[in-house]
Structure formats: structure tokens, C-alpha cells
A = this chain, B = another copy of it.
Amino acid sequence: MFRERLEKAQAAVAAQFDHVLAQMDDVPVVRAMAHATHGGKRLRGFLALETARLHGIEPAAAIWPATAIETLHAYSLVHDDMPCMDDDDLRRGLPTVHRKWDEATAVLAGDALQSLAFEMVTAPEVGPGDVRAKLARTLAIAAGAQGMVLGQALDIAAETATVPLTLEEITALQQGKTGALIGWSAMVGPRMAGDDTAPLAAYATALGLAFQIADDILDVEGDADTVGKATGKDADAGKATFVSLLGLDGAKSRAADLVQSACDALSIYGKDGETLRDAARFVVARKS
């Protein structure tokens, strides 16, 4: 069921990108935006669509925040890959934007993708004004200097730190860097419906941390062709990760505990929450 819903979400998000980007002028910066929004697991978009379904929101409304969060995620990857940041040549198996075009195009395409995320999340199709305003405001907070950007900044500072980060510091870093957007994605359903966001917030906190631990494991165990980006970078850089702090077995066992916590948080959804439980299991089992 999860695989099927994830694939449906991937197709729906891709179609929405095609629809939106086709309306824009055919200039290099727009082509770079299209390139950057291509591919990916679409986990965030899936979470938005699936939690919307759980809360009785129409897919035609939910596709907008689902695509918005993938747009915001894409912008963060474009900027994160730049030479002054992580300096990556490969992303999702394709050349990064600054490699295929240039750095100026990477800055501008990332900037325009962030704007586009806010344009999408406030689309008239999303619903009443207060819902659109709430989605935009919470997205801005999750993306900004108290959320994702703070995590990115801590991550870069960690690379030049003389003392490796502690487990507590790495957890805080992750909660900003990937946790904030994953949390926002999982709360799309209850936010749009005006329902309680607490169960899905708890689910997303555990899921996000499990996701990052799995990423650190992949960086050690995966190969670049399967993962779609360079691997072994953290160990080469002597950077503290969940694996370096907990050991490979410790990290795997921690990830398994978190999957259990994520599943437990969904108890009020009963059997309807099964797809999200499968998603949590997938996140730690994935190979890319």
C-alpha cells in the first residue's frame, strides 16, 4: 500500500510541476528550476498528501502544499550543493545546477524556487484564506533561521569545528536541517482540516530523526550509483555523525526504536495509519 501511494504521490507531484513550470517563460533560470525539481523520493510530498487524505482533504487541494514542500526542499538542495556549501557535483543522479549551468544560476534558481513554494501554498485551490495564511506562515518558520536554515548553518559550522559535535548537538542540527520540513509536511492534513496536529507532529519528529540516521548509515554503507550522490563524505571529512557517535549497530538499533515510536504515535488513526507506519519502516530500509 505504501509503495503504491508513494508512487502515486511522485506522479502527482511531477505532473503538478509540469503544469506550473510550463506557464513560465522559457529562460535558463526556469529550466534550471525544472531540472532541480526533477526526481527524488518525494517523501515530503507523500506525507502532505497522505496526511491530507487521513483528514478528509481533497487531493486537488492537497497537491498544492505537497508540491510546495518539494519545491522548498529542491531550493535547499540547489543552494546546499554549491561550492561554498557542500560542493557537490551530483544530485539525484544528475549534475547539480551550478555544474550544469553556473553559480549565479544556482543562486537565482534556488531563490525563485523558494518564492514559488510560497506562491503554491497560497494558491486559491488550497482553500479559505486563513488556511492558506497558516500554511504559508508555518512553512516560512520551518524554512527560516529558526528551522531549516539554522540546521544548515550548524551543519556547516560543524565541518570546521575543532571538537566533534555531541549526540545532543547532532540531534538539534538534524531537527532543523531535515526535521522542520518533514514535520511541516506531516502536519499538512490536520492543519488544512483544522484538526489537532500533535499526533502527526510526534510521528514526524521520530520519522525525521530516523531518516537522518538512515542517511548517515547510507553514507557509510551505500554506493554513489545507488544513492544518487557522493557517499563516504562525512567519514572522509572526519565529521561527527550518528554512526560515528553510536557505531553502525547502535545507529541501526536507534533507527529501529524511532520507527517504533513513529508507529506508536499514530495509534489514534488505527488501521488508517498503516500507510504512514509503512513509510516509517521504508525510511530506514531504503537504499537511496
Q: Which residues of A approach B to under 8 Å, CB–CB?
A: 24-25, 27-30, 33, 75-76, 79, 82, 84-85, 102-105, 107-112, 114-119, 122-123, 128-134, 136-137, 139-141, 143-146, 149-150, 152-154, 156-157
What's the number of copies of this chain in the assembled complex?
Answer: 2
A147 and chain B: residue at smallest CB distance: B115
Which of B28, B132, B136, B140 has a CB less than 8 Å from the CB of A116? B140
Can you spell out 9 A-B residue pairs with CB atoms less than 8 angstroms apart?
A: A25-B145, A75-B111, A84-B102, A108-B152, A111-B114, A111-B143, A115-B144, A115-B149, A129-B129
Residues of B within 8 A of A25 (CB): 145-146, 150
Q: Is B149 touching A137 in the complex (CB atoms < 8 A)?
A: no
The CB with the most chain B CB atoms within 10 A, among A102, A134, A146, is that of A146
Given A85-B107, A136-B136, also A30-B118 (CB < 8 A): no
Give every chain B residue within 8 A of A103 (Cβ-Cβ).
84
CB proximity of A77 to chain B, nearest CB, Å: 12
Q: A144-B116, A145-B24 are in contact. Are A84 and B104 (CB under 8 A)?
A: yes
**Which residues of chain B have C-beta atoms less than 8 A from A140's C-beta?**
115-119, 122
Rounded to whole Å, the gap between the CB of A118 and the closest CB of chain B is 4
- A71 to B282 alpha-carbon distance, docked (Å): 40
Contacting pair A145 B85 (CB below 8 A): no
Query: In whole Å, how far is A202's beta carbon from the nearest beta carbon of chain B?
Result: 24
